[in-house]
Amino acid sequence: MYAYIDGRLVFKCPTYVVLEAGGIGYQINISLNTYSKLPSEERCKLYVWQHVKEDAHTLYGFIEEGEKRLFLHLISVSGIGPGTGRMILSSITPEEIQTAIVKGDLPLIQRIKGIGPKSAQRIILELQDKLKKEGLESLTALPQYNSARDEALSALVMLGFGKNQAEKALDNILKKQAGTITVEDLIKGALKAL
């Protein structure tokens, strides 16, 4: 899986770009939001997600990490594929989409081409709590970790452990530890305890 591609912008149009990196030209599908924020200079960095199907491997690119995370949330909804996810991000800004979902603004979501009443309800139903928990700032900014504990907690939650359970394990390790401890040691210790 690719995280991002940083290279020379060879071609751009409202639906895709060609980014050359390491002598390879990558055709990457983009939203209008990304297109409007693309730099005018040759060098460009896009956060990417690869969609693998039987007959194609397709790259989707995003100018910001937050837009990519929102896209991944959208396509996790039943009935919303990558094409529809890109259409949603092309219709209104990621911030407006996120706010509409959190506030349950059904009419705004229904105005997006290809989204009917049932799909709009499903998007709100499946994503509202997730986006509320993450907060409005979290998708539009890169995650910030204030301490080794926060970073270790985030890693453990991403590995599938419950947040409360992981917090207890980390707190126990920190109580026993005198001095500083690395994120790696915290995670290893917590994995032994969980």
Task: Render pLDDT for 131-169 as a digit per residue (tens, 0 to 9).
Answer: 887 765 555 454 455 577 888 888 887 777 888 888 888
**Judging by DSSP bridges, how do beta strands 4-12 and 43-52 pair with one another?**
antiparallel
Do 69 and 116 belong together in one domain? Answer: yes
140 occurs within a structural domain: no
Q: Establish how many alpha carbons lie within 13 A of residue 90's alpha carbon, considering only the half-sphere containing its beta carbon.
A: 19
Residue 34 lies in a domain: yes
Of the residues 37, 62, 87, which one is the last residue of a structural domain?
62
pLDDT for 146: 57
Q: What is the pLDDT of residue 90?
A: 92
Closest by CA position to 118, among listed 77, 90, 88: 77
Q: Is residue 175 included in any domain, yes or no? A: yes
Do residues 43 and 71 both lie within one domain?
Answer: no
Which one-letter amino acid corresponds to residue 91?
Answer: S
Taking the C-alpha atoms of residue 116 and residue 109, their distance in angstroms, rounded to an integer, is 9
State the DSSP code for 140: T
pLDDT confidence of residue 142? 46
How far is 83 from 184, CA to CA, in rounded Å?
38
Q: What is the CATH classification number for the domain harbouring 98?
A: 1.10.150.20
CATH number of the domain bearing residue 32: 2.40.50.140
Longest dimension (CA), the chain: 58
How crowded is residue 9: how many other Cβ atoms within 10 Å of its Cβ?
18
CA pair distance 34, 60, nearest whole angstrom? 11
Q: Rounded distance, CA 194 to CA 190, Å?
A: 6
Q: Which domain holds residue 120?
A: 65-134
Q: pLDDT tens digits for the chain (194 residues)?
A: 789 999 999 999 999 999 999 999 999 999 999 999 998 778 999 999 999 999 999 999 999 999 999 999 999 999 999 999 999 999 999 999 999 999 999 999 999 888 999 999 999 999 988 888 776 555 545 445 557 788 888 888 777 788 888 888 888 888 887 777 888 888 888 888 87
Closest alpha carbon to 74 in 62, 64, 84, 60: 84
CATH of the domain at 160: 1.10.8
Same domain, 71 and 121: yes
Tally of domains in the chain: 3
Task: Look at residues 74, 67, 27 and name the one whose alpha carbon lies nearest to residue 50.
Answer: 27
Provide the residue type at 88 as one letter: I
Same structural domain, 52 and 73? no
Q: Are residues 72 and 119 in the same domain?
A: yes
